[in-house]
Structure 1
Amino acid sequence: MEPYKSISLTAHRNTEGLKMGQKMALSLVGFGLLLMMVYWLSFRSDEASLWLWASIGLISTGSLWYTYAQYKNTLLGIKNNQNWFVSLTSRGTYAWILAVFLTGFYVLLYWFPHLLGQGINGMKNTGLVALFDPLSIALKGKSASQWFVYGALYTLTILLMGLKFIYKYRHNKYQIYRTTSVMFFQTALAFILPEIMQSLNKPYYDFKNIWPLNYYFFFDWNIDAMLAAGTFGYFMLFWGIISFLVITPVLTYYFGKRWYCSWVCGCGGLAETAGDPFRHLSDKSLKAWKVERWMIHSVLVFVTLMTIAVLAARFTGFRNIFLIDSGTLSSWYGFFIGAAFSGVVGVGFYPLLGSRVWCRFGCPMAAYLGILQRFTIKLPWNKEAKRMSKFPHHNQC
């Protein structure tokens, strides 16, 4: 066989080796994405059900078909061949295009939702948001918002890429159980249950989203909404407090931080499924690890001080406990950490910096778990976790 000599950024030496089934599967995915883009850019609002289910059906069928065709004849073992020689997974042209697209989508999602079709001032939804109205109405009896669209796409991605991951590592029971777990928690607890709760006039609440990751848990509007929901609202408030004060320390004591980061968390779920092809791109230098320690614990300090300020303002009326208005602190955190870091950079930079940028450098929950993990019980499965809490632990959770 002749050596591969092309130095093109977009060259893919395996393109000619694609089977007819793989090409047809990719065509279905392409048509499904095209339907979504056409509906979005035309800012339509009619026949949404037909367009929605046609696009989701094509994308899902094509993804599963391609997964089967790609891995059905592979041998057991880790299959990350050619990652450094493919443009998409080696910071090539396709990687930059995808990064720009993802980053741009998050910018629109957070700050320009009307460009996605979100209705403003009482106007009805159009475009991409209107496309998901039928699903939103079915779950909660209300039209979709940009956040519902995001949750639906996020969940669909974890499900499809999770099934791909399971089939790819079908010889490894640990990977199968772990991936099934994050798929369940994202679909049932993070997406379906909160939407159904809203249909019952209960506050939106993701039971697995624990403070300090859920930084707005102690905000006035959230506490007021829970208190106004009666007995069930008090249960949500109790659950949220117990989750980070009791449940998290106990589970971390027995299982290390991986119980949350790899088995429950939606951020980790996306990183381990959709982010699997990019995990090798993380910076593994000692310098990166030192930066990681300072950054992630600084974010934990930031969210702790912000939460103290918010609670002090609620119970004492004094809003400048740290010489800065508590509302200003919370808005700073929401913009820089909650939106820009966790969303725009955390996911948008998958193709450039790897899939654990947010988890390693910005997630306050990971910092909290890392501190607790130093005191884990000495069980066999925790020895490695405890060792990695003292040394660089890139993409190990």
Structure 2
Amino acid sequence: MQDHPTPSLALAQPPPAATPPGEKLPLAAVALGLLALLVAAADADHNRARLSLYAALALVSGGALGWAWLAFGRPAAGWHPHDLWRRASTSRGAVAWATGVALTGFYVVLYWFPGLLENLIRALDPFSAWLRHRAADQWLLYGTFYTLAVLVLGGRALWKYRSTRYHLARTASVMFFQLGFSFLLPGLLLALQQPEYYFSYFWPLKYDYLFPDAVGKLLHGGGLGVFMVFWGVVLSFLATPVLTYFFGKRWYCAWVCGCGGLAETAGDAYRHLSDKSRTAWRWEMRLLYPILGLILLLTALLWVGASGAVPALGVVTGPLGQLYGFAIGSIFSGVVGVGFYPLLGSRVWCRFGCPMAAYLGLLQKHFSRFRISTNGGQCISCGNCSNACEMGIDVKQYAQRGAPIVRAACVGCGLCATACPRGVLNLENGPREGRLAASTFIHADSLRIL
């Protein structure tokens, strides 16, 4: 007689295996790709380094896509927590710390010790000559890695969220803008002897695009330069308020921005790590809006100094601009903003440092039609919505009260609504009238039992 194991009746099931057997092969390909990348970085022979680099990119990309298909493409479509809090890679375990150290170390080397990447940079010279008609530099290397991360892990997101058209369109959008507007188009402009310009970034995120020196160089660069200045001004002060009024900040933060694109693709596995405490919210207020104020002050001071009205301003604006570029533009947005994904969540930069997020957030909270409505009578307090929020919003607290979510921080990614098993949450662009009104609860006295 064959013995059959008795199924467990416990509510809390034992944790699953760390890595299912079928997923080990593609993960091994990723590991081999990372090893080949180290070999390329250490090989002074540019031809061998180039072969090693291309092999590394192929192995990492293919392995990551293969793993994503096995993990998310084969199971039934829909929201699955996938035991994120029980995995060492996504619950601040040893794997997460190792990943964070590796990412942080890469940014430190990229910003301050690029000579250590010289072999990798030279390996990209043929590609750079084809795209930009010039030799490669550290920023092309970084852009290549960044774009591949968005595209490859964007494929993961497409499989994972294929049950929702909103997420399919949103993911395809950030992939398109990163590849076309943030990678290929700037390279093409360089090939045409034009300024390297990123049309998907503008003031205050790309703060220097409206500085006097940058504007002067563009205006003297011919018709295209004039259009770039016009584009930056219109997007910053006209299109941004109008689009945010109708759609909230999600039109940019969740659909266009490269920082948001990386967070929504490469950082998706870490979204649940965002701190939902009131202390974290207070730090958002203490950091985010002063940074926006600093950009406003710096831009105004530079224009006043350029007018010649106060010549002594040059003594202040130069060091102030360098301080911002070092502390915020490099350390905060890169080293902390991406390097700390596995420890603090995927939107650290967006929550605490991005001046564009602050600007859009003020417009969204006070002047926008966007809100997330809630039906408190249907909420079962499962907490899936709060767990899915990458911006540190305790969505469950709003849903339990039937209160609409009108928060400056919300980027409208929609994962809270997708994660809800009861359809409590709904992203809306409705009229401003009644925007802050809570939903009406259905009381027992209003029900008729037939």
Q: Deviations over 1:92-151 (max 9, x none)?
A: 11111111111111111111111211xxxxxxxxx1211222221110111111111111
Displacement of 1:216 in angstroms is 1.4
Q: RCO (CA 8 Å, sep 6+): is it higher in 1 or 2? A: 1
CA distance in 2, matches of 1:340, 1:37: 24
| Equivalent in the alignment of 1:210 | 202
Aligned residues: 376
More moved, 334-343 vs 285-294: 285-294
Confirm or deny: 8 A CA contact 1:103 1:348 kept in the other structure: yes
Distance 1:290 1:326 in 2: 29
Does 2:228 align with 1:225? no
Alignment of 1:43-54 (within 5 A): 43-54=44-55
CA displacement, residues 210-253 of structure 1 (integer Å, 9 cap, x when unaligned)? 10000111335422431232000000011111111101001001
Give the direction of change, closer, same or farther, for the CA distance of 1:18–1:52 in structure 2 (3 Å limit): same
Matched, 1:201 2:193: yes
Task: Quote the residue 2:349 is aligned against.
Answer: 358
Counterpart AA for 1:345: V
In structure 2, the partner of 1:18 is 21
Whole-Å separation in 2 of the counterparts to 1:23 and 1:176? 27
CA deviations on 1:140-166 (whole Å, 9 max, x unpaired) are 111111111111100000000001001
Shift, 1:18, TM fit: 2.0
Q: Shift in Å at residue 316 of structure 1?
A: 1.7
Residue 214 of structure 2 aligns to a residue whose secondary structure is helix
Structure exhibiting the larger radius of gyration computed from Cα positions: 2
CA contact (8 A) 1:347 1:355 kept: yes
Are the counterparts in 2 of residues 255 and 382 from structure 1 also a CA contact under 8 Å?
no
Partner of 2:35: 34
**1:53-89 CA distances to partner (integer Å, 9 max, x unpaired)?**
3222222222221111222331232222211111111
State the alpha-carbon separation in 2 of the partners of residues 339 and 250 from structure 1. 30
Q: In the alignment, residue 106 of structure 2 is paired with which amino acid?
A: F
| Aligned partner letter, 1:332 | L
Q: CA deviation at 1:346?
A: 0.4
Q: 2:237 aligns with which of 245, 270, 282?
A: 245
Q: Is 165-174 or 216-225 further displaced after alignment?
A: 216-225
- Structure 1 residues 319 and 306, CA, compared in 2 at 3 Å: closer, same or farther? farther
Please give the secondary structure, in 2, of the residue aligned with 1:210. coil
From 150, 164, 176, the equivalent of 1:158 is 150
Larger displacement relative to structure 2 (127-136 or 337-346): 127-136
Which runs of 5 or more structure 2 residues have no equivalent in the other structure?
1-6, 10-14, 375-392, 394-402, 415-450
SS of 1:217's equivalent in the other structure is: helix
**In structure 1, which of residues 168, 172, 175 is the aligned counterpart of residue 167 of structure 2?**
175
TM-score (norm 1): 0.88
Q: Does 2:74 match 1:82?
A: no
Contact 2:357–2:409, Cα closer than 8 Å, also in 1: no
In structure 2, distance between residues paired with 1:257 and 1:242:
17
> Retained in 2: the 8 A contact 1:182–1:269?
yes
TM-score by length of 2: 0.78
Contact 2:271 2:345 in 1 (8 A): yes
Contact 1:309 1:326 in 2 (8 A): yes
Q: Percent identity?
A: 43
1:49–1:112 CA distance, 2 compared to 1 (3 A): closer
Cα distance in structure 2, aligned partners of 1:300 and 1:79: 37
RMSD: 2.4
**Aligned-partner residue type, residue 189 of structure 1:** F
1:188 is matched by which residue type in structure 2?
A: G
2:47 is paired with a residue whose SS is coil
1:264-315 CA-partner distances (Å, limit 9, x unpaired) = 0011101111111111111101121122122110110011111112222222
Give the corresponding residue for 1:120. Answer: none
Separation in structure 2 between the aligned mates of residue 301 and residue 16 of structure 1, nearest angstrom = 47
SS at match of 1:56: helix
Match of 2:129 in 1: 137
* Separation in structure 2 between the aligned mates of residue 320 and residue 88 of structure 1, nearest angstrom: 52
Out of 281, 303, 306, which is 2:273 matched to? 281
For residue 343 of structure 1, what is the aligned residue in structure 2? 334
CA distance in 1, matches of 2:87, 2:361: 34
* Deviating more after overlay: 67-76 vs 292-301: 67-76
Task: Check whether the contact 1:296–1:367 (CA below 8 A) recurs between aligned residues.
Answer: yes
Matched residue, 2:176: 184
Confirm or deny: 8 A CA contact 2:88 2:95 kept in the other structure: yes
Deviation at 1:319, TM superposition (A): 5.1
5+ residue gaps, structure 1, are: 4-11, 118-126
- Closer/same/farther in 2, CA of residues 378 and 334 from structure 1, 3 Å limit: closer
Note closer, same or farther for the CA distance 1:391–1:156 as it changes in structure 2 (3 Å cut). Answer: closer
Q: From 307, 310, 315, give the equivalent of 1:318.
A: 310
| Letter of the structure 1 residue corresponding to residue 192 of structure 2 | L
Aligned to 1:202, the other structure's residue is in SS state: coil
Once structures 1 and 2 are overlaid, which stretch shifts more, 154-163 or 303-312? 303-312
Instruction: Using the TM superposition, give the Cα deviation of residue 49 of structure 1 relative to its aligned residue in structure 2, in angstroms.
Output: 4.4
Opposite residue 297 of structure 2, the aligned amino acid is: L
Larger deviation: 69-78 or 184-193? Answer: 69-78
- Distance in structure 2 (CA, Å) of the matches to 1:25 and 1:373: 42
- The answer on 1:149 being equivalent to 2:141 is yes
